[in-house]
Amino acid sequence: MNGTKRHERILERLNRDGKVDVAGLSEELGISGVTIRRDLEYLAQAGVLRRTRGGAVSMMMLGEGLPYAMREIEVAETKQLLAAAVAKLVRNGEAVALDSGTTCVEIARVLVGTRLTVMPFSVQAIGALFGKSNINLITPGGSVRHDEGSITGPLAEASLRSVRFDTAIISPCGASPEDGVMAHDLHDAAVKRAIIDASRRTILVADSSKFSRSAMAAVCPLESIDILVTDAAVPAQVVERLSAGGVEVVVV
């Protein structure tokens, strides 16, 4: 198992249990304790966890999420599947507002094969779409969060008040039937709400791990979205509740 896969599995355990131990990880992954300790040191330097005697505990609280570099490697294969499923839902000629986050950057890479007008809300997605002849790229105003590359703030919200989109593609930091769609950053949550308000339909793209996470800022109720794109490990009660509320659920 390579380093990226190991880090991904460690992140999964941290998200689920809030803590990990070297002996348990070594047995579960079939990796030596020395390698596990080296992985934990790497993740500690990235600010994801705090080392403890024989293991580590998560440093992630409701007001903060995983660093961008860590999220890029988290469930990477699943994000590619989700991106391909979202691309199939978008038709040639649509005007699309594309949220920030690592999943939406993956979606941007797939959307380059479709004739679209796109307003992306991260510098990474702008880079992925720039120079593609079939993409009419519109950049929003706003401030760039240096740690995330997301575009937020009053100018970003003002940009959205003057346009309308066929489709909003939103990626949450956390989600649940009780608390709805959530984000860690208040300004990011405000932009997400403005994107939804400016769009005819909303596609929420969230891998199943997002349904075990909470965040501080509320975006919207889950039932207010039109389509959820997720993976097969999504909790059954989420699918049942959304389907009963008229939300289309696409499982990859």
- What does the DSSP assignment read for 16-64? HHSEEEHHHHHHHHT--HHHHHHHHHHHHHTTSEEEETTEEEE---TT-
Element holding 107 (H helix, E strand): helix 102-111
How far from each other are the two terminal CA atoms of the chain, in whole angstroms? 24
- Tokens representing residue 120 in the block: 């992306």
Give the CA radius of gyration of the chain: 18
Predicted TM-score (pTM) of the model is 0.77
Q: Which CATH class is domain 3-59?
A: mainly alpha
The residues, ordered by sequence, that sit 6+ positions from 135 with a Cβ below 8 Å of its Cβ are: 111, 112, 115, 116, 117, 118, 129
Domain range annotation of the chain: 3-59, 71-251
What is the CATH number that goes with domain 71-251? 3.40.50.1360
Q: What are phi and psi of 174, to 5 degrees?
A: -160, 160
The number of C-alpha atoms within 13 Å of 47 and in the hemisphere containing its C-beta is 11
- Tokens representing residue 59 in the block: 């440093």
In whole angstroms, how far apart are CA 218 and each of 90, 158, 174, 238?
A: 26, 20, 10, 18
Nearest to residue 36, comparing CAs of 14, 67, 3, 12?
A: 3
Distance CA 41, CA 26 (A): 15
Q: What are phi and psi of 125, to 5 degrees?
A: -70, -40
DSSP code, position 152: E
pLDDT, tens digit only, all 252 positions of the chain:
777 788 878 887 887 788 899 999 999 999 999 999 999 998 888 777 889 999 998 876 544 556 655 565 555 788 999 999 999 999 999 999 999 999 999 999 999 999 999 999 999 999 999 999 999 999 999 999 887 899 999 999 999 999 999 999 999 999 999 999 999 999 999 999 999 999 999 999 999 988 988 888 999 999 999 999 999 999 999 999 999 999 999 999
CA angle at residue 188 from 47 to 223, to 5 degrees? 110
- Tokens representing residue 249 in the block: 């659920």
Structure confidence at residue 55 (pLDDT): 93
State whether residue 177 is helix, strand or coil.
coil
Burial of residue 109 (number of CB atoms within 10 Å: 0-12, 13-18, 19+): middle
